[in-house]
Chain A
Amino acid sequence: GAGVSQSPRYKVAKRGQDVALRCDPISGHVSLFWYQQALGQGPEFLTYFQNEAQLDKSGLPSDRFFAERPEGSVSTLKIQRTQQEDSAVYLCASSPGQVFSGANVLTFGAGSRLTVL
């Protein structure tokens, strides 16, 4: 597609429910990132994929968070047993290659806003 697409745009969950957030990166993009943006704050890194390999998951806040990208394109971020502190905007981004360069920059989606009641 022309841009990074995320769904759903808005999700309301009751505490304890599981949620799944989907990211469709730009076609052919090798790198995919997930970020968490709490209200009034900057985005915080969660995890990074290079094709289907999850190379860095150091930012995942707990073992309730899980991300996958099984075929190297679409990615899903799953949050189990949601808590109120999980309320945030979850941003997905993709880039064409592996190494930062003039052409290899991140393109972000509009985000999925999760509200946990």
Chain B
Amino acid sequence: AQSVTQPDIHITVSEGASLELRCNYSYGATPYLFWYVQSPGQGLQLLLKYFSGDTLVQGIKGFEAEFKRSQSSFNLRKPSVHWSDAAEYFCAVGAYGAAGNKLTFGGGTRVLVKP
């Protein structure tokens, strides 16, 4: 069964500084990987996804993520954080099996942005 670990529960970053959120996954085959963002009281919004090909993927809002198979990681980065990036971020691994699709999420990382 697949699983996702996000080692950092909280991260505080100054506005304008860079941000990196860690994600490690466990899955027996080639993974489908996702990053979602959740603002208070909102649903989950897809930031970016990796299915195959180029291991560096670009997403919305200036985010990017790099898939590293050897490290089973899919870390999310942003070069310069804006105050509006304060939210909770979830990494997820997708699997397709006999019973259909399933997304498995990590526990999330809450990002606080200091002015």
Chain A positions within 8 Å of B, measured between CB atoms, are 4, 31, 33, 35, 40-45, 48, 50, 55-56, 58, 91, 93, 95, 98-102, 105-111
Contact = CB atoms under 8 A, between A and B. Distances in A.
A31 B101 contact: yes
Contacts of A40: 108
Contacts of B46: 105-107
A93 B108 CA distance: 18
Contacts, number: 69
B28 interface: no
Instruction: Give the interface size bracket for B toward A.
Output: 20 to 34
29 contacts: A31-B101, A33-B101, A40-B108, A41-B107, A42-B4, A42-B106, A43-B90, A45-B102, A48-B102, A50-B100, A55-B100, A56-B99, A58-B99, A91-B44, A93-B44, A93-B103, A95-B101, A98-B96, A98-B100, A98-B101, A99-B96, A99-B101, A100-B101, A105-B46, A106-B101, A107-B46, A108-B43, A108-B44, A110-B41
B103 A45 contact: yes
